[in-house]
Amino acid sequence: MDALLKVEKLFGGYGRETVLKDISFEIIRGEFLGIIGPNGSGKSTLLRLMSRVLYPQKGMVLFEGKDITKIGLKKLCQKIAFVPQDTLISFSFTVWEIVLMGRIPHLKRFQFETKKDFLIAQNSLRLTDTVGLREKSIDQLSAGERQRVVISKALAQEPNLLFLDEPTSHLDIGHQIRILDLLKGINREKGLTVVVVLHDLNLASEYCERLILLNNGRIFRDGKPDEVLTYRNIEEVYKTTVLVNTNPKSLKPHVMLISNIEQCVQNYS
């Protein structure tokens, strides 16, 4: 299988703090990979290291066989797009202006956008159901609308590899499904490699072909959803009791939470 990106003995974090420890795995070209784990397990840090937002403390990230830290930023942005969890835009750009920014890596210095760039940007808006927001200022949008616009900008880059950090966190259930259906469709039809951090284990189960479960900065399990989302794995990592059944339609694992409220009441009585 063709490995698009390799992570080799990776250590990383912030300043002197090491969040991730000895991480190694491959991302296969064309796959839809999910990264899951409890808060503080290192999910967002891993995405930032793989997209060169952060530099490794030790180890290496290889993209198409090359050390990612040695690839020019413009060249890297032509092939990798990153949608962060929280999007902070300092100026009151319109949605159209923001999505067109996704074309910058493909333009020469001082070059204006061409008809092709406009068509790509317009199609990205259409795919994320944000055409009607085109003339609005980013300041006028809800958190969910803003998230869809930032995904549109990433799609306008026409990347080979797309990283998304909790892309559904600010979306209602309808737009959660639309965004993940969109990403899955592009993944299947155009071969876009997608790596997504998700908190919702059932969404991760339904959409991801493979899951990496992180715990305390290390890989706890790596495999297909039915190999990773077992009740033993979930209870050990998340420290909560669950039932894991099978979705009767997709045949994927479905995680059901079990309330411990009676035990809590006893503890405080």
46-90: per-residue pLDDT in tens? 999 999 999 999 999 999 999 999 999 999 999 999 998 766 666
- For residue 172, pLDDT over 60 is answered with yes
Specify the DSSP element, H or E, that contains 251. none
What count of other Cβ atoms lies within 10 Å of the Cβ of residue 24? 13
257's tokens: 């939470």
Confidence of residue 268 (pLDDT cuts 50, 70, 90): low
Domain 3-268 CATH class label: alpha beta
Residue type, 102: G
Q: Which residue has the tokens 């290291």?
A: 49
Q: How far apart are CA 258 and CA 246, in angstroms?
A: 16
Q: pTM for the whole thing?
A: 0.90
What does residue 116 show for φ and ψ, rounded to 5 degrees?
-60, -45
Pairing of strands 80-83, 161-165: parallel
- E-strand stretches of the chain: 3-14, 17-28, 32-36, 58-63, 66-67, 80-83, 161-165, 193-197, 210-215, 218-223, 242-246, 253-257
Q: Are 33 and 189 in contact (CB under 8 A)?
A: no
- For residue 264, pLDDT over 70 is answered with no
Start-to-end CA distance of the chain, whole Å, equals: 58
Pairing of strands 17-28, 161-165: unpaired
